[in-house]
Every structure is written in structure tokens, then in C-alpha cells.
């Protein structure tokens, strides 16, 4: 089965849809592609739809993926991924968050889209004394 990447340019964020069996190399390459497109086109947010992928990753590869995604997409304000519930482990997500990337993983495309459209200050609270 082929690993495919489709890119959709939206007004609010970059949408990338991946499909097929995926190895660590495939997903690292996808992150690099997303970073390059975001930089060239000036995107501050990216939504990565992985619901049609079948990842073939060991635990340590999830950690490597999270670290690489965080480094590659560090210039973005917000990144969301959507995965099939059966592949939801949270390992890559936590690794990326630990490296400072504002990333959330969802199992619903609609929830991910809503989070992507949310105003930057809405999810964080701050007070000035």
C-alpha cells in the first residue's frame, strides 16, 4: 500500500491528509514537508489528518516522531493531529508537547477543526496583578 500526502490550503490553517501504511521515515518526511509549506506560505497553524494511515511504529519510534515533529514545526502556533482511535497512544503527542510544541491529538476531525479555529488566547488564562 502506498503512503500518500494531500495538501489543502485553507484560510485559517494548513490541512494535510495522509493515507496508507506509514513507517517512521514516512511520518518524519511528512513533518518536514508540512514545515516547509508552512514556512513558504506563512501558515501559523497546521492540522494533520492521519485517520487513514496505518502507522507501523515501535514505542521508541513514537518518541522519535514526537521530538522530530516538535523541532520541525516549532515555528507554528498550533498543531493538531487526528488519528484513528485504534492507533491513539498519546506517546508522540506527549513527546512533542514536552519539547514545547503546542500540539493536540484528536480522534474526531470536527473537534480538531474547532480547536484549530479557536482564538489563540481563548484556551489559556492569564492574570495581571
Per-residue pLDDT of the chain (129 residues; tens, 9 = 90+): 799 999 999 999 999 999 999 999 999 999 999 999 999 999 999 999 999 999 999 999 999 999 999 999 999 999 999 999 998 888 899 999 999 999 999 999 999 999 998 865 433 322 333
Structurally, the chain folds into a number of domains equal to: 1
63 membership: H or E segment, kind and range: helix 59-72
Establish if 89 belongs to a structural domain: yes
What pLDDT is attached to residue 90?
87
Establish if 127 belongs to a structural domain: no
Establish if 26 belongs to a structural domain: yes
Domain that holds residue 49: 4-118
109 membership: H or E segment, kind and range: helix 109-117
Rounded Cα–Cα distance for residues 62 and 90 (Å): 9
Q: What is the pTM of this model?
A: 0.87
Residue 34 in grid coordinates: 508540512
Establish if 123 belongs to a structural domain: no
What pLDDT is attached to residue 73?
98
Q: What is the CATH number of the domain that holds 107?
A: 3.30.750.24
Establish if 128 belongs to a structural domain: no
Establish if 125 belongs to a structural domain: no
Amino acid at each position: 500500500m502506498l503512503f500518500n500526502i494531500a495538501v489543502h490550503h485553507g484560510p485559517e490553517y494548513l490541512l494535510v491528509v495522509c493515507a496508507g501504511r506509514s513507517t517512521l521515515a514516512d511520518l518524519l518526511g511528512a513533518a518536514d514537508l508540512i514545515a516547509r509549506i508552512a514556512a513558504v506560505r506563512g501558515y501559523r497553524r497546521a492540522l494533520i489528518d492521519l485517520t487513514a494511515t496505518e502507522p507501523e511504529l515501535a514505542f521508541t519510534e513514537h518518541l522519535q516522531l514526537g521530538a522530530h515533529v516538535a523541532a520541525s514545526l516549532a515555528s507554528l502556533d498550533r498543531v493538531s493531529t487526528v488519528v484513528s482511535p485504534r492507533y491513539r497512544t498519546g506517546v508522540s503527542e506527549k513527546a512533542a508537547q514536552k519539547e514545547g510544541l503546542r500540539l493536540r491529538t484528536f480522534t474526531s476531525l470536527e473537534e480538531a477543526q474547532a480547536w484549530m479555529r479557536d482564538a489563540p488566547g481563548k484556551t489559556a488564562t492569564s492574570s495581571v496583578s
